[in-house]
Amino acid sequence: MGAGTVIVGTGQAGFQAAASLRAEGYAEPITLIGEESHIPYQRPPLSKEFALGQQDFESIQLRPQAFYQDHRIELLAGQKVMAIDRVARSVTLDSGRRIPYEKLVLAVGSRNRRLRVPGAELDGVVYLRSLDEAMVIRDCLEIAGQVVIIGGGFIGLELAAVARTLGKTVTVLEALPRLMSRAVPPVISEFFQKLHTEKGVRVVCGAAVTKIDGSAGNVRNVALSDGSRFPADLMIVGIGVGPNVELARDAALPVANGIVVDEYLQTADENVFAIGDCVEFPCVFASARIRLESVQNAADQAQCVAATIAGRRNAYKALPWFWTDQYDVTLQMAGISQGHDRVVTRGSAETRKLSAFYFRENRLIAIDSINRPLDHMVGRKLMAAGVRVTPEEAADESFDLKKLAQTAGTGIIRSNR
């Protein structure tokens, strides 16, 4: 047996890479290394069912402990990789142990951006990225009465929905002019602002936080640049994440908005791959180099790299898709809407069933669907197969998109490309 494959990171991407290698018939050793002491688990429930107390740790584990033994995956939890020696092809752990590799997969993820204002270090100011942080938030929510969420992105709004469902007084402070503005267009932002407002959440956009005040070391209120203040005994900060690139950078691998990889998810070193939230990669659906933070992207990139390492060289061409659950509303997104020059809709906000179709030069590039799962699935199929649909057809409820999608793979394709 050779040195095999070492995977750094035990999130969705790292776990999937290890599992997919075995599914591909890879017989060499696999070592999976992660800083968290827990075995790999799902992150999406942390801001939803887990925070509500509807799921426990066992129910969000990606696989039970026995899986790793049965599949001959050496899981090193609670250990940190300090350095990569690309010449010797080895990694060094914080314990001093050196582990050789034939192939190295960096699935090192991302970390929370920190709030840089006076008072941000007070007790009661919390973040969510890990299971340990989720357990802190869940415990705090049991006793908190007034919750302020700083950041109106997916995580912030999911936690706002949780806190409101638990009967808390909730305020969302978003620095930009609208909610989820980095991910969705105005029509979707407006829908979710109305949804949260109707549920009793106070939403303040254009909110510049300048200071957090406290007493006896605990948070008490937050001040904005316009002089307004909002009381809080729990403040959850969700202002985005940044990629963990230090390990790659210190090994002299190129980094930009993430670890730089090619269409095969290889770094500048042919023996080193990178996948998941930490990666900047060429996306055929965006016609640009991008970095994505999603379970789908992490899992699909892991499967792609596993196939390549196992001998089936594979370029990454998966269609990006995402989702968020807030109250009883599910938003599903497919494609990359940035750069669109036209948007049309199906359904209506009033019925809480609405889809927005995004076009660039009359080519469908993305769909956002609110409580319309069929539109989402059909849209994914149309875009992945390159089947052409016009803006007029997308906006026409009587036009059968499902039937059009069924032409994918039949040779009856009106090409979108």
Three-state secondary-structure class, residue 398: coil
- pLDDT of 410 > 70? The answer is no
pLDDT for 183: 87
| Residue 287 predicted with pLDDT over 70 | yes
Q: Is residue 74 scored above 50 in pLDDT?
A: yes
Q: What is the pLDDT of residues 337-363, one digit of tens each?
A: 988 999 999 999 899 999 999 999 999
SS3 124: coil
Secondary structure class of 327 (helix, strand, coil): coil
What's the pTM value of the predicted model, to 2 decimals? 0.94
Q: Is the pLDDT of residue 415 over 70?
A: no
Residues 131 and 153: their CA atoms lie apart, in Å, by 19
pLDDT single digits (tens) 107-157: 999 999 999 999 999 999 999 999 999 999 999 999 999 999 999 999 999
Rounded Cα gap, residues 231 and 228, in angstroms: 10
Question: What would the pLDDT profile of 29-38 be if each residue is shown by its tens digit?
Answer: 999 999 999 9
pLDDT of residue 393: 95
Query: Which residue has tokens 């933070």?
Result: 293
Q: Output the pLDDT for position 414.
A: 41
Q: How do beta strands 81-85 and 90-93 pair?
A: antiparallel
φ, ψ of residue 361 to 5 degrees: the values are 55, 45
Tell which residue, 392, 382, 391, has the closest CA to residue 415.
382
Quick one: pLDDT at residue 416?
Answer: 38
Confidence band of 406 (pLDDT split at 50, 70, 90): confident
Q: CA geometry: angle at 162 spanning 156 and 163, to 5°?
A: 85
- How many CA atoms, within 13 angstroms, populate the side-chain half-sphere of residue 53? 8
- Map residue 156 onto helix, strand or coil: helix
Burial of 414 from C-beta contacts in 10 A (0-12 / 13-18 / 19+) = exposed
At 234 the pLDDT is 97
Query: DSSP label at 264?
Result: T
Query: What pLDDT shows up at residue 106?
Result: 98
Chain centre to alpha carbon of residue 160: 18
What proportion of the chain, given as a percentage, has pLDDT over 90? Answer: 92
Mean pLDDT of the chain: 94
Give the phi and the psi of residue 142 in degrees, each rounded to 5: -65, -30
Band (314; pLDDT cuts 50, 70, 90): confident
Half-sphere exposure at residue 399, Cβ-oriented, CA atoms within 13 angstroms: 16
For 228-283, the pLDDT digits (tens) are 999 999 999 999 999 999 999 999 999 999 999 999 999 999 999 999 999 999 99
